[in-house]
Amino acid sequence: MKNRRNIFQPVSESIIKRNAKLKHYPDSDSLTVASRPIFLEAGYELRRDKPRARGDPAPEPAERRSKPKNMDNDPRPDSVRRAKQAVMDIIRLNAEVWTHFITWTLDPKEIARDDPKEVSRKLQTFLKNKVQRNNSIHVIIPEYHADNANIHFHGIICGDYKMIDSGKKTKDGKTIYNMPDWKLGYTTAIPLDGNITKISRYVTKYLSKDFRKIFGRFYYYGGKGLIRKPPTTLYDLDFGKVEAKIYTPNEFVSFKYKDLATDSTQAFIEEHGFVRKIKNEYYEHGFVRNNK
């Protein structure tokens, strides 16, 4: 067949990388614009080795080493930002699900609340049981108390949890409930309403720049039907024309972030988009289409 392109032919990253990623949520769209093309189109993967000539032996596979899991480590700022964004994605994509914002503490009479391994084991057992028996869906964020030793949790949930009126109310009049199913300490559960974007920002405020991983991870999530990643579209946008605060995590790239109303997204893209001029079509170490 004429003009049939080899799908394994390496192509330049300038062809299949874009500088803007638009995430689509039920209530709005969220735009990330980078100062250079970094977002890879679906279906491609980086090829780091040169093609082998016919008859050349295959290279020896690299030795894989497993890293011991650090149950209590200080993360880099960019990893905190990624975790924060992942939690926001889950909350916004499942906006119709959530019913309560929760706080769970640990009673030293019930558990060694300064032992991350024991606390992690108890928490995961509790969450697994609630998913199986009570149709629980959850995002839970562990956090240290001010003493940087004892652990407690914040999160957002739904499910057939037992709720008991604590007799207290929030400043805006919402009933504060207790959750007797959590037997390891004191609990509060506050009903949710209002703007899901505002709620997601409130929940993720606990993932601050000073946040520390406690169980080797930032958060726990789970539940049947939970959606984790939004559909995305990649674009080429003029970084300088996008009016937003610049975030520069390192010397190689800067970012701008902007929320857009769904009905205004297309007009914004058309106003700020452009066609890049491609200088070189191929690189020696380029990207190949993933045919899996």
Spell out the alpha helix ranges (H) of 41-114: 77-93
Average pLDDT value over all residues in the chain: 81
The three-state secondary structure class of 285 is coil
Q: Which two tokens stand for residue 145?
A: 């108390």
Quickly state the pLDDT bin for 219 (edges 50, 70, 90).
confident
Domains and CATH numbers, the chain: 17-47+232-289 (no CATH), 77-222 (3.30.70)
177: left (phi over 0), alpha (psi -120 to 50) or beta: beta
User: Quick check: 201 pLDDT over 80?
Assistant: yes
* Main-chain dihedrals φ then ψ at residue 18, nearest 5 degrees: -125, 165
Tell me the torsion sign for CA atoms 193, 199, 202, 205. positive
- Cβ–Cβ < 8 Å for 192, 98: yes
Q: Which two tokens stand for residue 66?
A: 């497993």
User: Quick check: 136 pLDDT over 90?
Assistant: yes
pLDDT of residue 289: 44
- Cβ–Cβ < 8 Å for 135, 225: no
Query: Rounded to an integer, what distance in angstroms lies between the CA atom of residue 231 and that of residue 145?
Result: 36
User: Quick check: 121 pLDDT over 90?
Assistant: yes
